[in-house]
Chain A
Amino acid sequence: MSVTETRADDAALRRAARLDIEDFNAAYCAVLDDGNLEDWPEFFTEDAFYNVTSRENFDHDRPVGLVYCENKAMLQDRALAIAKTSMFGPRYLRHYITNTQVTGIEADGTICALANYILVETLAELPEGRLHQAGRLIDRFRRQEDGRVLLSSRIAVYDTLLVHNALVLPI
């Protein structure tokens, strides 16, 4: 196989992976925006890592996260805590994930990807809505036996340094 053919295969694989990820993210956002929060952990592998952190922390290798989950069980606990125990004002949140790039496919099939995101928050007392976060997603996806992809790691790094009051739902 020539070098040119390998590159063409590689580009085709990445394009296919990107389309899978875009489908995945559309479904992921739909669950967070309008669905049942307790379905959200189902987008992750059992051993998934999930973190939401500021660019300030990420750029200085500070490991802390606004949300810090080391496995799917912790994601389930977060979904339970927010859905069943937390008090917060009514709001609409809408997630947009764009500019998806597949940056690599590893030997075991893990897909490394980057994307931008914005989160728009609309409160009853703020009906015009506002930008709640803008940032980027640093993702790793693992392909399952049935062909689906699941997140084995998602790190949401936000540029919007100051969080308005509270971040209720995950990114």
Chain B
Amino acid sequence: MKMLPIDKRYVWPAAGLERVPDWAYTSQEIYDREVERIFHGPTWNYVGLDAEVPDAGDFVRSYVGPTPVVMVRDEEGEINVFENRCSHRAAEFCRELRGNTDEFVCPYHQWSYDLKGNLSGVPFRRGVNGEGGMGPDFRPENHGVKKLHVTRHNGAVFASFSDAVEPLEDYLGEEMLSDFEAVFSGRKLRVLGHYRHTLSGNWKLYPENLKDPYHATLLHTFLVTFGLLVAGNKSAMIVDPKGRHSTMASAKSDGTAVSEENKAEMRAYRDGLALADPRLMDFIPEFDSPWSVTMQVVWPGLIVQREMNTLGVRQIVPNGPNEFTMVWTMFGYEDDDEEMTRHRLRQGNLMGPAGFLGLEDNEAIKFVQDGMLNSTGGEHLVVLDPKVPAGTSNTLISEAAIRAMYKHWRQEMGL
């Protein structure tokens, strides 16, 4: 039986961007197309920080989309990214999370690769006693591991499978680059550690969560109660012209400024709670930015977190349509003093899979995926703020940034 083409089987709802179909989140076929067209397509994918590989031979295992890669610094100081897959029998040869090495040797048949991913050794290439081994036409230079394009910006390292990807500065655009450079300003980074967790939902629900400022004022009682993000605060939901990247931004207010009218809308609001150690919510100005909090999505799989003074990047590693892994790298700056480092660590209690805000997002995303997998319905409502069809909005009570993301996604996916 001849199958219908994909765009005839997956038809976007007639209502347009105000609906997102469940199949965008649950279909294996759609997921496979995302890997091909988005993660392996003309996108820049965050793979790590310069500061994780300071010396020649330093490496970390990383991912581009779901695909395992190795990020390594070579003898010339360049950072290379290549697939973690032996060109012989496909073994994922680099097994350690990080380390330092002169070369990579596949443990199965000991094929070896240099720090640029070139094949440098094949045992018994000429056979034994004149028998066996590789044929005379075998050229090691044709059998290195798959190398990716690499670009770096002020300490962040990105990789791409695509020859057609634009320079990173153009990929981000002026406005997004400016938010990115509030954190990646060129100040040398100091890595404070990692969080890793799975999340039982489709990977797109994470960027969507950060393009959905509506939830932030409702789900996160802690934020609301302690004045970090309250409907009515100075805030913005900024989207790049192509609709793919975004920054959710807000300026801290003191909790007493919440109007009675806004309080009544927020079931989550708790009057009269106070922190025993209020240092958690201190914001020490240190950035060239009007915002005390920014959550930036760099499409497709990077989130740059600047939650007051706790800084980090989150990398999305999708594991199929219904689950992804999130790898967080928390950092400060090399010139931070002891107290500033402690302040960043202290404020880290807000984020991550045990964070006062972070755990709630993970739970909410799981509930959404559960809803799609376990029930009928077929599509989501994404209708808030209809005056802005898709793109930047001046109000938090908006879903215009989610619509912008799907506008871009549909173009890339041809659906």
Contact = CB atoms under 8 A, between A and B. Distances in A.
Interface string A73-94: 1101110111011111100000
A57 B193 CA distance: 6
Given A87-B219, A165-B200, A168-B359, A53 B275 contact: no
A85 B273 contact: yes
Interface in B350-367: 352-356, 358-360, 362-364, 366-367
Nearest to B356: A81
Contacts of A166: 197, 353-354, 358-359, 362-363
A68 B367 CA distance: 27
B95 interface: no
Nearest to A68: B345
A20 interface: no
A1 interface: no
Interface in A150-165: 161-165
Nearest to B349: A68
Given A56-B194, A68-B346, A165 B356 contact: no
Given A162-B196, A162-B325, A68 B348 contact: yes
B354 A85 contact: no
B198 A162 contact: yes
A65 interface: yes
A163 B358 CA distance: 13
Interface in A88-119: 88-89
Contacts, number: 129
A165 B345 CA distance: 21
Contacts of B219: 87
A73 B276 contact: yes
Which of B198, B341, B363 has most chain A Cβ within 10 Å?
B363
Nearest to B328: A64
B348 A73 contact: no
Interface string B290-331: 000000000000000000000000000000000001000010
B353 A87 contact: no
Interface string B261-274: 00000001010010
Given A66-B355, A85-B273, A88-B360, 8 more contacts: A63-B192, A77-B276, A85-B225, A86-B356, A86-B360, A89-B366, A161-B196, A166-B359
Given A85-B270, A165-B200, A63 B193 contact: yes
Given A67-B349, A85-B221, A85-B225, A165 B196 contact: no
A62 B193 contact: yes
Contacts of A68: 345-346, 348-349
B197 A163 contact: yes
A70 B345 CA distance: 10
Contacts of B367: 89
B192 A64 contact: yes
B370 interface: yes
B362 A86 contact: no
A88 B354 contact: no
Nearest to A41: B276
A1 B137 CA distance: 82
Interface of B: 97-98, 191-200, 219, 221-222, 225, 268, 270, 273, 275-277, 280, 325, 330, 341-342, 345-346, 348-349, 352-356, 358-360, 362-364, 366-367, 370
B64 to A, nearest CB: 19
A126 to B, nearest CB: 10
A137 interface: no
A149 interface: no
The 10 A-B pairs with the shortest beta carbon distances in the complex, nearest first, are A64-B193, A62-B193, A73-B276, A85-B221, A73-B277, A163-B197, A166-B359, A57-B193, A66-B354, A167-B354
A67 B347 CA distance: 10
Contact of A84 (B273, B330, B346): B273
A68 B330 CA distance: 13
A86 B222 contact: yes
A163 B196 contact: yes
A66 to B, nearest CB: 4
A63 B342 CA distance: 9
7 contacts: A56-B196, A85-B268, A86-B221, A88-B363, A162-B197, A166-B359, A166-B362
Given A64-B348, A65-B348, A167-B353, A85 B222 contact: yes
